[in-house]
Each structure stands twice: as C-alpha cells, then as structure tokens.
Amino acid sequence: MTDKPPSIIKPTMDTLENIRGYQSTIYGAEAKAIKELQALGYTANEIVQCYVDEQKKPFWADKPLHLMSVKKVIGHWKAQQKPVVEKNKYLAQNLPVRAAR
C-alpha cells in the first residue's frame, strides 16, 4: 500500500490568508485547486510563490486573485523559474537533431 503524502491544503490556505489579510470566501474551490496541484507534483511553496508573483502583475491590481487562476498559469510560471542553462540542456537532450543541408 502506498502512503499518500500529507495534504498541503491547510498550510497553503493559512499562508495565503496571511498574505491576503482575510480568509477565502471560496475556501472549498481553492482547496480543490490545491489538491489538484499537489496531485500534479506542485509544492505548497511553489503554489504560494506563483500566487505572489501573479498578484504583482498589473492585471490583478483591482481584482482578487484566486487559486483557480494560479492553477491555469503555474506550469508556465514554473518553466520560467528554471535557469536558462537547465532549459538549454533539456532542449539539447530532447529535441530531434536536424540533418545539415
């Protein structure tokens, strides 16, 4: 039997409550987003950091940012966090080599 990793919902929501200064009014929906992100391999720190980085964008200046929106962009956000050297190494190993013409 495989042990499930401990849930990151409560610590993530507590951290976001501290950042926001209020408790989520859509806790259930945001908790579901965290659960889905954890199943995809994202950590609480990654979720919170992506939230903080997204919140800084001008688009979110006059509206609330919810984790359902973070869920939509976290893959792109995480890819942008990798150093260029790592990205180039990955590309070199995984892209087909074109024959010289």
pLDDT in tens, 25-54: 999 999 999 999 999 999 999 999 999 999
- pLDDT at site 42: 95
pLDDT in tens, 59-82: 999 999 999 999 999 999 999 887
The domain segmentation of the chain, as residue ranges, is: 9-94
**Stated pTM of the model:** 0.78
- Residue 73 CB partners (closer than 8 Å, separation 6+): 50, 54
Confidence of residue 85 (pLDDT cuts 50, 70, 90): low
Higher pLDDT, 23 or 95: 23
